[in-house]
């Protein structure tokens, strides 16, 4: 039986585990989305009445001369009256629909303005609260980063050369061992080339680029096949 009392690991614990196992897979497999059965949108009573008015279903007569008989003049007169009634019903339905739409738009606009004001007040309150713990939070993050750097083991293998990477890429499909070898070289490259964040005056302005940027500078032949390299890397990575 699964123990539900155990607490899930924190973000720091997950990062520390990944740092201690740099050659393991660092992503979760995405499950196929569950198909959702499409259902027709439900109509309100007002929408149903307006649609019936526009279609003319409510403009008919219970004493239809085409069913119960009658003279040609009576039939012609009733046809004219029916056309007039249908036209009036359509105009009335359109007017009611326009009125309802204008009321809905006015309510949405009023609600949106109130929500914007509430969001501004909440943002100001959050900013005032953040200033109180900025220094403490920055110190906590610095200590966690030091622990993660200390727990990260050194690279297991030397840095692969661009020639070795190209040679392994060319023969990657010869056998399963060749595929694992190319993926292992990409793992070795990733261990040596760390993706880091560049800060300027306390703001994140970019990143180092990691493996992708290194391939562009040192091995442009494989830079165009970056996603293929990552696919073979995941094949060589063990599961955590």
The answer on 178 and 147 residing in a single domain is no
**Domain boundaries, position 56:** 43-151
Percent of the chain at pLDDT above 70? 63
Total domains in the fold of the chain? 2
- Are residue 50 and residue 136 in the same domain, yes or no? yes
pLDDT, tens digit, for every residue of 193-205? 886 666 676 666 6
- Residue that terminates a domain, selected from 151, 186, 213: 151
CB 28 within 8 A of CB 14: no
Residue ending a domain, choose from 130, 151, 172: 151
Listed residues 90, 116, 151: the one ending a domain: 151
Per the listing, tokens 């070898």 go with 181
First-residue to last-residue Cα distance in the chain = 22
95 and 182 share a domain? Answer: no
Are 78 and 58 in a shared domain? yes
Q: Clarify whether residues 49 and 100 are in a common domain.
A: yes
Inform me whether the pLDDT recorded for 68 exceeds 60.
Answer: no
The model's pTM is: 0.50
- 216-226 per-position pLDDT tens digit: 999 999 999 99
In the three-class reduction of DSSP (H, G, I as helix; E, B as strand; rest coil), residue 57 is classed as coil
Residue 156 token pair: 């297991």
Over the stretch 45-55, which tens digit does the pLDDT of each residue have?
667 766 766 66
**Mean model confidence pLDDT for the chain:** 76
Does residue 170 surpass a pLDDT of 50?
yes
Between the CA of residue 43 and those of 36, 85, 90, 163, 227, what are the distances in Å? 20, 24, 19, 66, 47
Count of other CB atoms within 10 angstroms of residue 160: 18
Q: 206 - beta bridge partners?
A: 198
For helices 72-151 and 45-55, angle between their N-to-C axes, nearest 10 degrees: 140
Residues 125 and 48 grouped into a single domain: yes
Radius of gyration of the chain (CA): 35
**Cα dihedral 140/141/146/147 (nearest 10):** 70
Q: Specify if 169 maps to a domain.
A: yes
Tell me if 7 is assigned to some domain: no
Residue-level pLDDT at 171:
95
Q: Are residues 49 and 126 in the same domain?
A: yes
Question: How much is the pLDDT for 173?
Answer: 94
Q: Based on the domain organization, do 139 and 171 belong to the same domain?
A: no
Confidence band for 67, pLDDT divided at 50, 70 and 90: very low
- Mapped onto helix, strand or coil, the DSSP state of residue 43 is coil
What does 108-153 look like in DSSP terms, one character per residue? HHHHHHHHHHHHHHHHHHHHHHHHHHHHHHHHHHHHHHHHHHHHSP
Residue 81: both structure tokens together: 């009256």
Q: How confident is the model at residue 185 (pLDDT cuts 50, 70, 90)?
A: very high
Residues 240 and 25 sit within 8 Å (Cβ to Cβ): yes
- Angstrom distance (rounded) from CA 230 to CA 225: 9
Do 188 and 114 fall within a single domain? no
pLDDT in tens, 8-49: 888 888 888 888 887 776 655 555 555 555 444 556 666 776
């Amino acid at each position: 039986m699964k123990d539900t009392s155990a607490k899930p690991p924190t973000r720091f614990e997950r990062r520390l585990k990944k740092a201690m196992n740099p050659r393991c897979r660092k992503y979760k497999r995405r499950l196929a989305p569950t198909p959702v059965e499409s259902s027709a949108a439900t109509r309100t009573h007002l929408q149903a009445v307006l649609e019936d008015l526009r279609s003319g279903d409510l403009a008919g007569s219970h004493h239809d001369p085409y069913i119960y008989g009658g003279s040609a003049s009576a039939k012609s007169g009733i046809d004219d009256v029916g056309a007039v009634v249908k036209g009036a019903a359509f105009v009335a339905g359109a007017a009611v629909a326009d009125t309802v739409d204008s009321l809905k738009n006015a309510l949405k606009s009023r609600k949106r303005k109130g929500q914007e004001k509430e969001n501004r007040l909440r943002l100001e309150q959050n900013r005032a609260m953040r200033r109180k713990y900025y220094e403490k939070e920055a110190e906590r993050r610095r200590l966690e980063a030091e622990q993660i750097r200390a727990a990260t083991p050194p690279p297991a293998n030397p840095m692969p050369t661009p020639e070795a990477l190209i040679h392994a890429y060319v023969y990657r499909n010869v056998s399963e061992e060749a595929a694992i070898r190319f993926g292992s070289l990409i793992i070795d490259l990733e261990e040596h080339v760390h993706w880091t964040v560049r800060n300027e005056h306390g703001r994140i302005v970019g990143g180092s680029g990691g493996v992708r940027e290194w391939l562009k500078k040192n091995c442009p032949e494989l830079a165009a096949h970056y996603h293929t390299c990552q696919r073979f890397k995941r094949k060589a990575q063990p599961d955590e």
